[in-house]
Structure 1
Amino acid sequence: MPVEELLRLGTVRPIVRWGEPVLHRPARPVTDFGDDLQNLLADMFATNRAASGAGLAAQQIGVDLAVFIYDCADETGRRRTGVVCNPICEQPRGAERRLISYDEGCHSLPGAFVDLARPESATCRGFDQFGEPIELTGGGTFGRCLQHETDHLGGTVFGDRLSSKKRRQLYRRFEETADEYPAEWPVEIATSRMR
């Protein structure tokens, strides 16, 4: 399905929290680009929208497949929306590598943000929702999203990239807001919007 159609369909699903095994192991490659994948992608877009996010990996809704969606702005402010299956993410090296510190969060640890340095841009290669090869390059929130979501598919949550001090700070922030994010979040948000 075209992205425009995927954005209109789908059912909001609960987001899995850090600590669940599906988030901490590499995902299985996507090999079937049929209806099941299209329905999953529609649900991922609906869930990401309900959670007001920049992107979402399939593992974050409990599905062990190497696919993520993105819906965020790049370094120019242009909205970027799409799908990447079986991604490989490359970051600049050597003199071209510039790190940017930015508050980063994760749907799977909602309400908590902490400063994390990442390369200011990234290039991601993989396949779109039809199984066609794609290559995406970007900075800003989009570049960070490419890196964050590809990490998820490899079994890495962004907390794994933090020092123990920053990780403790992140968990404290999560605990301070945990009551705002019940176990079925963001399903409740989507349900209340429909009333």
Structure 2
Amino acid sequence: AVYNGRRWTYRELNARANRLARLLIEKGARPEQRIGIMVKPSLDMASGVLAVLKAGAAYVPIDPGYPEQRIKYVLEDSGAELLLTQTGVAVPDGFCGEAILLDSVLSGDISPEDDVNPQSGAEPHNLAYLIYTSGTTGQPKGVMVEHQSLVNLCYWHNDAFNVTEHDKSAKYAGFGFDASVWEMFPYWIAGAELHII
């Protein structure tokens, strides 16, 4: 993954995601639990998304540029008790859960145990992510996607577009928009290089 001149190898990205996943598991992350992630485009975003999945939970992407009322609604409606965020991103008033600053948690040296993938207990039918519609026809609605559906999307995408480890892809869609899923996961499972715009 590459962002603003910084690059992480798959080993580095995986180690950071594992470190964060273990922290989330310590805080009670489990299958079907929804964890909000409200970050600006960054390497923290990449490791945060993967960490939530590695912990067995489902990520709820929230664009920090959304109006505060929408952010509050998504956090409340999703039932998120944990919120991954960054320094400089305002957590809305009234959020009763715990906010975790990714840039603080993920700083520092990588230790050997960070290379070990945690065991989450997630199954193919468990929720992978919960993403909210635009809400142009009323209140935004949460769309739940299971791991097996995400895997099917990735394999179809990579077959249709012949994605390989030699490819480079851009992650430019808004984080709270479902197109961001297409921009990340198919390329990661192929071993390609993801450039976060």
TM-score (norm 2): 0.29
* Bigger RCO (CA 8 Å, 6+ sep): 1
